[in-house]
Amino acid sequence: MRVEELDTPVLTIDLDALEENLDRYQHYFNQHGIGLRPHIKTHKTLAVARMQMDRGAIGLTCQKIGEAEVLVSGGLAVDILIPYNIIGKQKLERLCALARQTTITVAADSAYTVNGLSEAASAEGVTLGVVVEIETGQERTGTITPEQTLALAQLIDRSPGLEFRGIMGFPTPPETRPLIQETLALLDRHGLPHPMVSGGSTKYALQAHLIPELTEYRIGEYPVGGYGHLLAGRHTLEQCALRVIATVVSRPTEGRAILDAGSKTMSASTLETERGTSIGYIVEYPDAHFYGFSEEHGHVDVSACARKPEIGERVQVLPVHPCPCVNEHNEIVAVRQGRVEAIWPVYARGKIR
């Protein structure tokens, strides 16, 4: 089947671009001796996860236990990092069940989380690896000072059922190196080995070598790019593998085109650009501005386009944030040179627990 025969809106991935991205980043991390541990939150598919492992990834990253369960039940019982505070009876039981099947490491930034993990692991007779999440600029989770990190590492180290494995941060631009160094030095002074020092984010991935302390790195969007990566020059247009194909369903005015792709197709994520808020980049109409949406309509200003799209015409759109966009879809259509090669179920879609 040709891609032109697919009904719209439809989420597609270009296999040539995908493979080139996977190779390029794997090569970079191999070259610098840093383990690549891809984050499956972006693609949520078994197919891409397998391609990542086949290319030399040291393991995978899952943000939720449900994602890890999808991997394991799909035959990918690899070394898994869940960089998240796992809290609550039901989740701890599921986590321990996973730990019986494969190597599991989780993150913690509080004694509350650590105590819960230890209690569950002891009761279930499993060992859970734990890293301390440190705050590196996201202003989200994470310990604030190296002293807090040390205290938590010591608690993990003496807690039954747990094994202290090191630290992780998100994101880890080069300027976070001093904090990482200071933290590791403090752990060293207190005799706490830290085999895992995990950095993350596609944005700073190709600068990971500037923090030689990193043993591994988590990245999600590198296989597919997206409008933000295109704007920042991290991915060329050709390297932006993930595209929504949409149809122009209305042209009410000279300047306005309406697509059959709104927030339930693109996700409600937006990106601030020089032209204002954007929902996506329209490949065939670089002068168009995809400025708004309702649930099933995409609102595009085409007044700056010399040639304007017509009703019934199809366009390719790069999402501004691939991860939630993929999560809106039940499948991704894998395309090579215009031919449909596979349809990949988004198995981990909606795995929020």
The contact set with a second copy (CB under 8 A) reads 7-10, 41, 63-64, 84-85, 87-88, 90-91, 109-110, 112-113, 116, 135, 138-144, 247, 249-253, 256, 258, 260-261, 263-265, 267-270, 294-297, 299, 311-312, 321, 323-324, 327-330, 349-350, 352-353
- Report in angstroms the alpha-carbon separations of 253 from 9, 258, 303: 22, 10, 10
Burial of 222 (0-12, 13-18, 19+ CB in 10 A): buried
DSSP letter for each residue of 59-71: -EE-SSHHHHHHH
Q: Counting Cβ atoms within 10 Å, is residue 191 exposed (0-12), middle (13-18) or buried (19+)? A: exposed
> What gap in Å lies between CA 320 and CA 265, rounded to an integer?
12
Give whole-number Cα distances, 268 to 64, 140, 209, 297, 322, in Å: 21, 21, 34, 12, 11
Return d(Cα 269, Cα 278) in angstroms, integer.
9
Shortest spacing between CB 24 and a second copy, in angstroms: 24
- Return the closest-CA partner of residue 76 out of 101, 100, 39, 56: 101
Give the shortest CB-236-to-a second copy separation in angstroms. 25
215/265 with CB nearer a second copy: 265
Please give the radius of gyration of the chain, using alpha carbons only, rounded to the nearest integer.
22
To the nearest whole angstrom, how small is the minimum distance from the Cβ of residue 139 to a second copy? 7
For residue 260, the minimal CB distance to a second copy (Å) is: 8
DSSP string, 54-109: HTT-S-EE-SSHHHHHHHHHTT----EEEEEE--SHHHHHHHHHHHTTS-EEEEES
**CA angle, 183 as apex, 177 and 185 as ends, to 5°?**
100
Min dist CB 31 to a second copy, Å, is 29
Nearest approach, Cβ of 323 to a second copy (angstroms)?
6
Tokens 């000279």 map to which residue?
A: 254
Residues in the chain, how many?
A: 353
Nearer to a second copy, 14 or 328 (CB): 328
Rounded CA gap, 223 and 242, in Å? 9
**Minimal distance, residue 297 CB to a second copy, in Å:** 6
Least distance to a second copy from the beta carbon of 205, Å?
17
Please tell me the distance from the alpha carbon of residue 161 to that of residue 116, in angstroms, as a whole number.
11
